[in-house]
Amino acid sequence: MRSIGYVVGVAALVAGGCGDKVIELNFQAPAASVATQYNVSCVRAVRVDLDGANYPENGGDYEQDCIDIEPGSATFSQILDRLRGEIDVALPASGLSGVEVYGHAGACDSARPQDFDLVFYSSAAYVGQDTLVLPMTPNVSCEPVDTVVRPIDILKLVATKQCAMAAWTEGKLALTTVMTTPFTGDAYWWGGQYSAPIVNGVAAIRGNTKVSQRACLAIGLYTTDWYGVTCVGPNDQRVCATGSEIEAPMIDLDVHTASQDLAKITEWGSLLVGVVYGTQPIAGATVTLDDPQSGEVVYFDLPPGVEMGTGALTVHAGQSTSASGLFGIYTDALTNITVTANGKTVKRTVVGNDDTASTVIVKM
């Protein structure tokens, strides 16, 4: 049987049959200057995925192993030492196209990524080389801090132009991260273990907030399931939050679903809804994708009463925001946008995710 095993700092893949070929998987910890900035002591498992030749077109073409990590592995090197001799997974029957590695804060039997933080990850494509180098990329540091998150209903904010009237009160909020998955380019969010209910307009959460530049710190929303996620913006992009509060825009799920163009959803995967705002919604703002191939921008009007959760946003035919300030981005990626209004330009990182309703407030 073809299999993988961790041997003295590398893993060896052996292709079975006559003339066996050994492919070394060289796991590499980050440079010391980077590694010392990230605490990995909350890692409780490392998952290894061997992607088959038909992946990602066939999302099920992979083999997987997972190794539970005992508490106390506080450095990348200690985690690698813990893995030595533990990885044992068969190669996919279709052949090998790549390897993915995920170190996360949940045990191997955790139900799904929304249950725990992703601490580091790595990947390498296989194209016939003798050695695959797998650099371990930090995602979030295991350094919990106290945070206060203020959720804002963006449709009520547009309708009332008052923060006090736009408070979101449903469900609980969680600190999460969003990263780009290897080989697919899709946005994927991890987290949910650090969460709190909304009380008096805010959620007080103690959790990990230091993320790498390749990811975004995000806020997840849970009601009957996880269904909302938004990348956290800089402090100067807040409209209603004050002090050290994190601002988290939200949108009614029924309105979000009803507002989708199904043809665009089929093409791009999901819809993010945003608003351009100053002291009120801003008309005439343009939104562009830094990577035009990552999605499609549309503009919306807010019909009367839709902010109460009934009906749908309607498409605005112009090439900039209407008086509602609302726009949409059909995308399934972690992407950068540029917003321009009244001679001012703002750049933001936003996320579209096909499992959730994504949102953003862009302050001008």
Q: Does residue 1 register a pLDDT over 90?
A: no
Percent of the chain with pLDDT over 90: 77
- The parent domain of residue 303 ranges over 145-363
For residue 253, count CB atoms less than 10 angstroms from its CB and return exposed for 0-12, middle for 13-18, buried for 19 or more: middle
User: Could you give the number of structural domains in the chain?
Assistant: 2
Last residue of a domain, one of 108, 138, 168: 138
Q: Does residue 22 register a pLDDT over 80?
A: no
Do residue 214 and residue 342 come from a single domain? yes
Do residue 98 and residue 240 come from a single domain? no
Q: Does residue 4 register a pLDDT over 60?
A: no
Mean pLDDT of the chain: 90
Do residue 76 and residue 154 come from a single domain? no
At 16, the pLDDT band (50, 70, 90 cuts) reads very low
Percent of the chain with pLDDT over 70: 94
Q: Is 113 helix (H, G, I), strand (E, B) or coil?
A: helix
Predicted confidence at residue 5, as pLDDT, reads 36
Answer whether 0.85 is exceeded by the pTM.
yes
Predicted confidence at residue 276, as pLDDT, reads 98
At 8, the pLDDT band (50, 70, 90 cuts) reads very low
Non-local CB neighbours of 228 within 8 Å, separated by 6+ positions? 219, 220, 221, 250, 251, 253, 356, 357, 358, 359
Query: How confident is the model over 166-177, as pLDDT tens digits?
Result: 999 999 999 999
Average pLDDT of 323-346? Answer: 97
Do residue 255 and residue 312 come from a single domain? yes
Helix extents (H) in the chain = 32-35, 76-83, 154-160, 253-258, 262-268
Average pLDDT of 320-332? Answer: 97
Do residue 22 and residue 107 come from a single domain? yes
CA distance 319 to 327: 10
Q: Who has greater pLDDT, 250 or 354?
A: 250
At 253, the pLDDT band (50, 70, 90 cuts) reads very high
Q: Does residue 235 register a pLDDT over 70?
A: yes
Do residue 155 and residue 67 come from a single domain? no
Predicted confidence at residue 9, as pLDDT, reads 40
Do residue 121 and residue 177 come from a single domain? no
Last residue of a domain, one of 138, 166, 200: 138
CATH number at residue 355: 2.60.40.10
Query: How confident is the model over 23-54, as pLDDT tens digits?
Result: 777 888 999 999 999 999 999 999 999 999 99
Q: Does residue 357 register a pLDDT over 70?
A: yes
At 13, the pLDDT band (50, 70, 90 cuts) reads low
Do residue 81 and residue 115 come from a single domain? yes
Predicted confidence at residue 10, as pLDDT, reads 40
Predicted confidence at residue 20, as pLDDT, reads 57
Do residue 60 and residue 25 come from a single domain? yes
Do residue 247 and residue 99 come from a single domain? no
Query: How confident is the model over 54-93, as pLDDT tens digits?
Result: 999 999 999 999 999 887 777 888 888 888 777 777 889 9
Do residue 204 and residue 69 come from a single domain? no
Query: How confident is the model over 103-160, as pLDDT tens digits?
Result: 999 999 886 777 899 999 999 999 988 888 999 999 999 999 999 999 999 999 999 9
Using an 8 Å Cβ cutoff, are 183 and 127 in contact?
Answer: no
CA distance 186 to 183: 9
Do residue 156 and residue 251 come from a single domain? yes
For residue 152, count CB atoms less than 10 angstroms from its CB and return exposed for 0-12, middle for 13-18, buried for 19 or more: buried
Predicted confidence at residue 21, as pLDDT, reads 62
Predicted confidence at residue 86, as pLDDT, reads 78
CA distance 245 to 237: 12
